[in-house]
Structure 1
Amino acid sequence: MSKRKKITVFPVLFRDDMIQQLYENIEYFDLKILLKESSKIKPYKHYSFRLIPEYFKLHLRNPSLKTKVIAQHNWGYSILLNNANSMDGFMQKQFNSKKRNIFTRYVKRLESCFNVKYRMFYGKISESDYGFIMQALYNMILARFKERNELHKNLHEWNELHANTYQEIVNKKASLFVIYDEDRPIEISLNYHFDKILFSYISSYDISYSKFGLGHVEIYKQIEWCINNNYILFEMGVGGMDYKRRWSNNIYQFKHYIVYNKPTIKVKLLILKFQLKEYLKSKKLNEVSLRLVGKTKKQVETTNNAECKEITKKENTIKTDFSEIEFTNKTYNFLNKYVHDFLYTTENHKSDLKVFKKSNQNTFMLEGKGHYQIISFS
């Protein structure tokens, strides 16, 4: 028999037959989920399952197998919905008034500035919609991580995700949550579903809308969907990014399960290897190597080549050199960030905005209700 290793439970738990074949049931919180045994798979001498949340208890089908559990120096972030029967009720119970106002303000500001639509594609989606949304998500990820001068950890599996996710949505094992400005996707989350858990696996947004806190809006609206559909947990997985910490009420440690038949020398060495790895992580020695690698990368300096200046209505009365443009035309996509920042700051609706261009110059004027701004590009 050969071996199988480096199986990451999140999100493989939601889409791989290995877990169902090996385990009889999974307990989490007050629920026990019986797993339907999948078709026969090739047996292995040992199995390695990384990133198992500590709130899961997995029960093997074969009692003769043994399990070594290694605590990982990785933390997960999720939101227990605590039997909430409404979004307002959840927010009241979960957050103080200051935090509630911060999160709800993002939602209200977005909806006051744009004609926003929210859609959850779960169980049904056309192939054309699927292709369009997945391409939009891919483009958002590329743009956002280019801005950060980083690589996205999941892009290496994009072709596999694209090939498999459509049928998983149809089978209600996955979903796509989309926030639209009119018909334009501006935030997308690819999710997996397991029993009463919604796992937000990959999400991204149009960076020109960055002031609107779309990550918070996405979480708010997906929690609302979870509550309305009797889910008990909104899972965000590994990694302590700021937005996760601000929302989470269930922060947990991951475990690494090594399952084997006999404690052979090979298995013992494998266990020792992973124990050493976690020890080094606990001492943050892995971060030293990451910093050294980071210093060898070419740093990309981003500069703002536009000067923005607020002007008064009196100054705005002379428009002799300006002519109105159709700013939603793709030709003017480079203005999107400035337009959206202006809408956010002035609380104007997009439909009330006019944009003018100065003749023979790369200078633009934004005009909303009672607010004006000049943008000059060097």
Structure 2
Amino acid sequence: MIKISLYKQKQAEQIHTENLVGKDNFNQDTTVEYNSMVENPYHDTVPILYLSGGWTELDVGSLQRKNNRKQQLLNISLPYTSDLDHEIVASSQNITAKKNPSYLIYNRAPKCGSSTMNSVIKHLKKQNKFALSHELQAHVINNQQTKNLVNKLKKIKSRKVVYDSHFYYLQWPEFDFNPILINVVRDPIERQISKFYYQRSEKRWGNITERPAPEWFNKTLEFCLFSGDPECQFGDVEELITTYFCGTAWECGDRKSGRALQLAKKHIEEEYSVVGITEDLKNTMVLLENYIPGYFRGASSYFSREKVRENTNAHPPQNDKVVQKLKSELRIDLELYAFIQQRFNIQLQHVNTVKKISRNQNSVGIISLSHNLASKYTVDLGQL
């Protein structure tokens, strides 16, 4: 077993409070340890969602019933090494200098501010002189598909390229490709509530006639959580935030795998220049602009001036029973979110310290982390 601190100790205590969750509806699990080995055997097919009339999560995600029940996550071993048995410590280092400055990858997680991010990126495209490639992509990309994607990006005739799509972390160096990586995450509880009702929104389905059964659209999150509905089997069917940073292996989708959590933390600390937070997009822009100025110079100004905001969808308020159940089911995502928040705040403090020192030295203009007072890992891409 790998012992890992939970999101907050107070929340960890609340997760298992019987009178909040309900003894009859939830099998209590009082341990605060994650499994060191994968818990569930591999399933090569995905189940039908309750009350859907034969639709799977993959069908709902694509707005089209494809009768394809093939599991997306791959039946491969987790690339886990012994150094992951130690605590992963968040830092302010900017690893951009270790990356190929010609490419930036944004493997965005759904319902985490991607509409806002896309708006900012599109606006900055011209002034910061980069090409933008955006497409719908399977969340799991195999080796051949990854090779094809790398070749496609290398053929784009631009000195800088941004590529964004919904897909899980890839081992880019194995394909002789080492792009700058970014992402944005959201409080896992709020994300799942939002996503559940967003998938049912009339705006999303529009004039599509072939749909899941009406009962599926009227299904409540509470029913989903406490009925054993596959739609709310997080990790097994419903994807985790952790998977976006862990990778495509089956264990990356196991909500009780401490190994998957540790690997996700390692990838964030060692591979991602910035992982922003939806709840603080203003400072997310500050970090992007300072850590990756070649792509995001002017992001803060545009975000503030245009009052860019994420699309929202209406959904009913949830009772304590639902919230506590989500906290229990999403412990791995909550732990990762806490780690990302910690790293985010450390990076932001570093940026503010550099700016303060620069002001004291009567520096002029916008301060980027390419200043010699910043981390030795910093690079200024503005000259590209």
Normalization by structure 1: what TM-score? 0.23
Whose helix fraction is larger, Structure 1's or Structure 2's? Answer: 2
Whose strand fraction is larger, Structure 1's or Structure 2's? Answer: 1
- Of structures 1 and 2, the larger Rg is shown by 1
Normalization by structure 2: what TM-score? 0.22
